Structure 1
Amino acid sequence: MKSKQAEVHFNDKGTPIASHFDDVYFSNDSGVDETLHVFVAGNDLLTRWENWQAPYFVIAETGFGTGLNFLVAMKVFSEFRQNNPSHPLKHLYFLSTEKYPLPLPDMQKALDAFPTLQAQANALKTAYPLGLEGCHRRHFEAFSTTLDLWIGDVHERLPQWSSPISGLVDAWFLDGFAPSKNPEMWTDDLFRQMARLSKQGATFGTFTAAGIVKRGLANVGFTIQKRNGFGRKRDMLTGTYSEEKAQGRDFEGPYYRYNRRKLSPGDEVIVVGSGLAAATATLALAKQGLKVTVCFDDENLASGASGNPQGGFYPQLHAQESIASRLQAHSFLFSRAYYNQVIASQEGQRIAHNFCGVVQLNFNEKVAERQRKLIENDVWPSALVHAATPEFISERAKIPLPFDGLFIPLGGWISPPDLVTALLTLAQNYGQVTLKPHHRYGDHEVMQSSQGMKTVRVNFDTGETLTAKHLILALGAGAVNLPAFASLPLRPVRGQVEAIPSQSPLKPLATVLCHKGYMTPAHLGRHALGSTYGKDDLNTDVNTQDTEQNLQTHKKAMLGAQLVEQLHHDGTARAATRLGSPDHQPVCGVLTHFTNLKPHYVDLSLGKPISQASPIENIPVSTLCCLGSRGLTTAPLAAELLASELTHSPLPLTKDLCHALHPARFMVRECIRGILED
């Protein structure tokens, strides 16, 4: 999971050189001009953008390096948008791979040589991800651009890119060190993946004219053209993908996420829910130019599990590279960058928060062993999590604590109600977002026109009926017992959180403390202290038994710490029901009656590959639910995934992580085991 960083030195002209490959990252003559010649002009981007009718354009790159190609493309596209404000092409996606990411100081030094790119370079420096393998999505809204930086070997990353059957990529920046220096990259596997991912008419540009590249690309369906190279290079290659039927494409069976009708700017979507899932989904859709109506039960937002005044924000990491850990790590890192942008965008509307770090205390031998393995296995970058001594913890907490443990420096706490309100306010700034309180969801019906177009009609307890091209049910615990969710194994869990008055010696607490429960620094004179877990309990009345359980949990875990020995509590607390799933992962994607689909997948029990099974039919209904107690960590990236799926834009997660969130996963597992009846 933790990537190896590049080893870089600089020549006498200040050009960075990769020590491992003994090759320059860009031309000694002019890196910017090289990118403009080889990649921008090589793909005829300006002419193609002028004639483009889709809302977004996708560039894929092999070798992020210093980020120079990305910065140039982002600058050129931003200038195109400024010069053509009413053009239908609104957004650029830039997907890039990098096996050995540069350390941030080396990247900064390399980019300092390009003063015309300083605005773009500063934005990249602020958003530059940790060296963790997988996809890191970053939005650069001032430049109408989204970067997906896929850290890892290109031969491992590209197969994890999900693609519509019609293709994903519009243009390739075929970069990377020269074939003579880096033959491991320039292989038939690379060219086959390019064919799998390319749309009809996709182009490429590359600085090299090596025969292995020319032959490899021609063999998979690209027509090849030689052009004049840049600087001292005589020739370079460009080309266009013209294969009638793409090679190696599959539907990913029931996990295929592009099978539903593509939503376009101006299309109407109904989102039902009032919490974090609904708010993040609404913002993601609004950014895509969709018209969203948000319907919820009560007068106020965040009436359910998202209503707690404070929520701890941190990932649940394991000592192994499990799917659960990878989801947590990538969701957390995306969410932190996401929250930074949301908080910075607020004008006069404060989101109470404190990214003060999170301490995971070592409070018994079992926890000590688990934490020891996590550090020894060296899976995670130290900037994400590292070991902490009692002295370090006491200094960060501002309270003496006799425990060692782990420290998550990017974590902290956020006010979920403030966040939900801010997200929906921000969504309204992007376009047509309407809030409808006092609209309790009743049921829905999928309708099909004589032309075969599907819409969905939603009925509310007010007697009002709304119609849209798509419906997203983000109801949290409100989904329990609804017929629409009957084939999903939902797991409601009651949780009570105490609001302890700030008092000595607890008052100075300056970081979030976690053990079997958690404790936060003060907000509005109170500390959050929680939480209980009552399975299948929908009662949200505060009770004294849960209060006593919370207090005893903290006293037992922090035995010997002065701050819990004599806690005064006035009984202020809040209870809500979280919604989870059996595998503790969110549920994000199509919502249908999966039990009725089992007969279509009976062959999975006989060993039929998932990729050869049929996709789920086009259903204009989705869900984002089962966030459990990690909604602050997982909701933003899950919402991003759902909006990307519905607009047929690039997905921000590897295929296996997309599968791990898919609502069909429970049905698929049962079919594989031969469980065909409930």
Structure 2
Amino acid sequence: MKHADIQWQQGQPVSTDFDDIYFSREGGLEETEYVFMRQNGLPERWQGVEDFVIAETGFGTGLNFLTTVQHWLAKADVSSPTGACLHYLSIEKFPLSKPDLEQALACWPALDAVSAQLIENYPPAVKGFHHIPLFGQRVVLSLIFGDAQEQLPNLHAAVDAWYLDGFAPDKNPDMWTTAVFRQIARLSKPGTSFSTFTAAGVVRRGLQAAGFEVEKVKGFGKKREMLRGVVTEQHEAKDSAPWFALPRLGRKAEGNKHAVVIGAGIAGVRTAWSLAKRGWRVDIIERQAAMAQGGSGNPQGIVMPRISLGDSAESEFYDTAFFKAVRELNRLKQQYPELRWQQGGVLQLASSQRVRQQIERLDCAPELAQAISAEQASEIAGVEVTMPALYFPQAGWLDPVQSCQLLLCDAGDNVRLHTHSDVTSMQYVDGAWQLLDAEQSLILNAETVILANASAVSQFSQTAFLPIGHARGQISVIPASMHSKALRCAICHEGYILPATRGEHVIGASFLAGDDSVAPRHEEDEENIRQLQQSLPGLFAKQIPIADHRAALRATTTDRLPLLGPVADEGFFAEHYHDLHKGKAAAQYPAAKYLDGLYVNAGHGARGLTSAFLAAEVIASQVNHEPLAVSESIWQVLSPSRLQIRGFRKGPGS
């Protein structure tokens, strides 16, 4: 995305794109407090509530956000429940660069204590939803980079207060359109308020037409008037895809915040962690003797982006998931320095036509990926590289087993792990799921269950329709050579090699779809070595001994995206959506129906270490009735029922 074009005039930022200032020269802090906080009745309205949702058009320098956060942290804990959370959603089409953000916020030393965390976690200019928990989960910033007219329809939230900011209507008319006002109303509920610095007639009339009661009040400083208002009736929104509809959000219902997660790999442990940080009690059920014994059990794994050609929901998910993973791993390493997370960058060699096309057509933020020459790749790697490459400067490698252990430790007493427990069936009785073993004995019951047990999610009668499979993968461990000891970063080719630890390299990995054996095979070791020697000749001698090896199964889907979210009521879907191929209007279909309290988080394939962190937030935000952690369009391509819907659209026999 394009960064904001900033000029600095007398120490203050001015947008050259819109010829307008970012904050008032008469006192930006005071303006924020008067225009946005006071006119929305804050902080009084959030006293005693479990959570509060603010949405903003125009993040700019983050001044409104930081001022609000400072008040939230000072006031909310006094009278609000333990674990109260401020959800702040802000859309920005032209994000400031990090240096410009730092320079702008330096104007407000009173905000230094809160601005430091924003600056540390500020994402690169990559389109999409950047989900950023701050201040020990007491604040969640969803910083949404993109055009407001495109991104507002993608929000799934129940907003309590709107900050309608951005540049003036005559400078930036696209921010103040009928379509924008309608989306603002769609995301509001009775009692939702708004305020804005402008008193322009087009804004007043547009908000009134959308269902707001609007009044003019005294403006800030020399500005004579501004607008504020409130919604008095529920806005009935028409869903363009009711078969993907999630329940409309409102105030959280009080209830038993207890969940069971089945599966103790990275997806399950991270999901349990995300719920625990929201005040949930979580039991993890694992059939093996310890956590992370399946696909998450390799000694090292790569955390890197997945580059797609073209702009798509898939590429947006993996881009934002990658930066989410990096932020969370860096946070975890700050807390636990022993974490084996080495952010040394990753090289993807141009060893295939697909990668060569990606290099030729690369158009993304340099923080995500860079196209470099063989000479540049050699300098980064510390060993000779003979072909061009994609360089992912923020990527690295991780010890998956240790990361699961530390996440469980960080979750504290809210999470309990039960090993040697194999759930073979489920039944829904009296509003709760009973989880049964092979003898039909009760293991646990809970109102909320998340299936994170890889391809085994489809073993239950309720989820047998889920389109999930598996692929065998085998890694090999080889002794480091005199030359390979100099390797400084992970290198991917048709396989991959990781820097030496304890005198050995992990290389890999085979990919055999449908093969369910986990017994190591000599021929797969040989293939791993062949690919390595073909792509990095001279790094090793011709004969490379095998020190160790390991095979495991990856859970896969046909479209290479995970299954995330509530499990569909299969019978309801078949009854109501079977004729989608006939092209009837969406309004003729009812909203989707899901099995109460049953969710799935599986199918991450070979990118689980990258996608698991954001995926856990997608699940936790749904379970906890929060604003969705990704856009609606992304969730639709992750929905567990997406392939079922595609089949209905194609028609019988297709």
TM-score class, shorter-chain normalisation, is over 0.9
Read off the aligned partner of 2:558 and give its amino acid letter.
P
Residue 400 of structure 1 aligns with which residue? 384
Give the Cα separation in 2 of the matches to 1:231 and 1:218: 26
The amino acid of 1:306's aligned partner reads S
The 8 Å contact of residues 4 and 131 in structure 1, kept in 2 or not, is answered as yes
Tell me, yes or no, if structure 1 residue 185 matches structure 2 residue 163: no
CA offset digits 1:296-330 (Å, max 9, x no partner): 11221111110000001112202211333222111
Report the counterpart of residue 214 of structure 1 in structure 2: 204
In the alignment, the residues of structure 2 paired with residue 180 and residue 265 of structure 1 have an alpha-carbon distance, to the nearest angstrom, of 48
How far did residue 93 of structure 1 move? Answer: 0.5
Partner SS state of residue 305, structure 1:
coil
- Amino acid in the other structure paired with 1:633: T
Give the secondary-structure state (helix, strand or coil) at the position aligned to 1:307: coil
CA distance in 2, matches of 1:197, 1:673: 32
Whether 2:515 is the aligned partner of 1:537: answer: yes
* 1:599 Cα deviation from its structure 2 partner: 2.5
CA gap 1:569/1:481 in 2 versus in 1, 3 angstroms: farther
Q: 1:487 aligns with which of 465, 482, 489?
A: 465
- In the alignment, is residue 59 of structure 1 matched against residue 40 of structure 2? no
Q: CA deviation at 1:254?
A: 2.5
Describe how 1:336-415 pairs up with structure 2 within 5 A.
336-346=326-336, 350-364=338-352, 366-367=353-354, 369-375=356-362, 378=363, 380-415=364-399
The percentage of aligned residue pairs carrying the same residue is 33
- Aligned-residue offset at 1:248: 2.7
- What CA distance in whole angstroms lies between the structure 2 residues aligned with 1:551 and 1:264? 57
| Distance in 2 separating the partners of 1:572 and 1:298 | 21
Distance 1:186 1:556 in 2: 57
- Taking the aligned partners of 1:632 and 1:562, their CA distance within structure 2 comes to 30
Measure, in 2, the Cα distance between the counterparts of 1:601 and 1:432: 40
* 1:416 counterpart (400, 415, 418): 400
1:190-589 correspondence to structure 2 within 5 Å: 190-243=180-233, 245-250=234-239, 252-258=241-247, 266-346=256-336, 350-364=338-352, 366-367=353-354, 369-375=356-362, 378=363, 380-428=364-412, 432-448=414-430, 454-461=431-438, 463-479=441-457, 481-558=459-536, 561-566=537-542, 568-589=544-565
Structure-2 separation of matches of 1:276 and 1:610: 38
**Structure-2 separation of matches of 1:593 and 1:11:** 59
Q: 1:676, 1:112 → 2: CA distance? A: 63
Given that residues 529 and 544 in structure 2 are in contact (C-alpha distance below 8 angstroms), is that contact kept between their aligned partners in structure 1?
no
1:451 alignment partner in structure 2: none
Matching residue's letter, 2:347? V
Query: Is 2:212–2:230's contact at 8 Å kept on the other side of the alignment?
Result: yes
**1:263 and 1:633, CA in 2 relative to 1: closer, same or farther beyond 3 A?**
farther
Q: Does 1:44 align with 2:41?
A: yes
Q: Is the 8 A contact 2:568 2:593 kept in 1?
A: no
Structure 1 window deviating more from structure 2 (276-285 vs 564-573): it is 564-573
Residues matched between the structures, number = 651
Structure 2: distance between partners of 1:184 and 1:324:
27
What is the match of residue 17 of structure 2? 20
Q: Partners in 2 of 1:405 and 1:228 — Cα distance?
A: 59
Question: 2:92 matched to 1:98?
Answer: yes
CA distance 1:593–1:246, change in 2 (3 Å): closer
**How far 1:373 moved relative to its partner?**
2.9
Whole-angstrom distance in 1 between the partners of 2:470 and 2:561 = 13
SS of equivalent residue, structure 2 residue 166 = coil
| Aligned residue identity for 1:523 | T
Give 1:470's aligned amino acid. T
Contact 2:567–2:594 (Cα < 8 Å) also in 1: no
Residue 153 (structure 1) aligned with residue 130 (structure 2): no
CA distance in structure 2 between the aligned counterparts of 1:15 and 1:301, rounded to whole angstroms: 52
Counterpart amino acid of residue 62 in structure 1:
T
Cα distance per residue 1:282-308 (max 9 Å; x no partner):
011112211111111122111111000
Alpha-carbon distance in structure 1 between the residues aligned to 2:525 and 2:469: 23
Question: Which one-letter code corresponds to 1:356 in the other structure?
Answer: G
3-state SS of 1:562 partner: coil
> Does the CA-based 8 Å contact 1:226-1:237 persist in structure 2?
yes
2:608 is aligned with 1:652: no
- Indicate conservation of the 8 Å contact 1:296/1:436, yes or no: yes
Deviations 1:429-454 (A, max 9, x none): xx522211121112111123xxxxx2
Aligned counterparts of 2:89 and 2:396: Cα–Cα separation in 1: 30
Preserved contact between residue 347 and residue 489 of structure 2 (Cα < 8 Å)? yes
Q: Note the C-alpha offset of 1:356.
A: 0.7
Q: Could you list the runs of 5+ residues in structure 2 that have no partner in the other structure?
A: none
* In 1, Cα distance between equivalents of 2:62 and 2:181: 22
AA in 2 matched with 1:664:
S
Contact 2:273 2:415 (C-alpha < 8 Å) held by counterparts? no
The answer on whether the counterparts of 1:260 and 1:646 sit within 8 Å (CA) in structure 2 is no
Structure 1: any 5+ residue segments left out of the alignment?
A: 449-453
**CA distance change for structure 1 residues 609 and 274 in 2, over 3 Å: closer, same or farther?**
farther
1:447 and 1:624 map into 2 onto residues whose CA distance is: 23
Q: 1:297 to 1:610 in 2, by over 3 A?
A: farther
Contact 1:586–1:661 under 8 Å retained in 2? yes
Letter aligned with residue 280 of structure 2: L
CA distance 1:397–1:88, change in 2 (3 Å): closer
Distance 2:503 2:191 in 1: 61
Once residues 64 and 540 of structure 2 are traced to their aligned partners in structure 1, the CA distance between those partners, rounded to angstroms, is: 55
Q: Which string of whole-angstrom CA distances, capped at 9 and with x for unpartnered residues, describes residues 332-386 of structure 1? A: 111111211122222x7x221211111011225x2464133332xx2x1122101
Partner of 1:671: 648
Three-state SS of the structure 2 residue aligned to 1:61 is strand
Give secondary structure in 2 for the equivalent of 1:250: coil
Task: Give the drift of 1:510.
Answer: 0.5
Native 8 Å contact 2:263 2:285 kept in 1: yes
Residue 210 to residue 191, structure 1, CA distance change in 2 (3 Å)? same
| Structure 2 equivalent of residue 120 of structure 1 | 114
Q: CA deviation at 1:399?
A: 0.9
2:242 maps to amino acid: G
Per-residue CA deviation, residues 446-504 of structure 1 (Å, 9 max, x unaligned), is 123xxxxx221111358343221111111114336443432112221010001112222
Match of 1:8 in 2: 6
**Counterpart for residue 28 of structure 2:** 31
Give the whole-Å Cα distance in 1 for the aligned partners of 2:255 and 2:211: 32
* Letter aligned with residue 323 of structure 2: L
Range with bigger deviation, 180-189 or 622-631: 180-189
Q: Matches of 1:212 and 1:593 in 2, distance apart?
A: 45
What amino acid maps onto 1:353 in structure 2? Answer: W
Moved more, 405-414 or 435-444: 435-444
Q: 2:405 is paired with a residue of what secondary structure?
A: helix
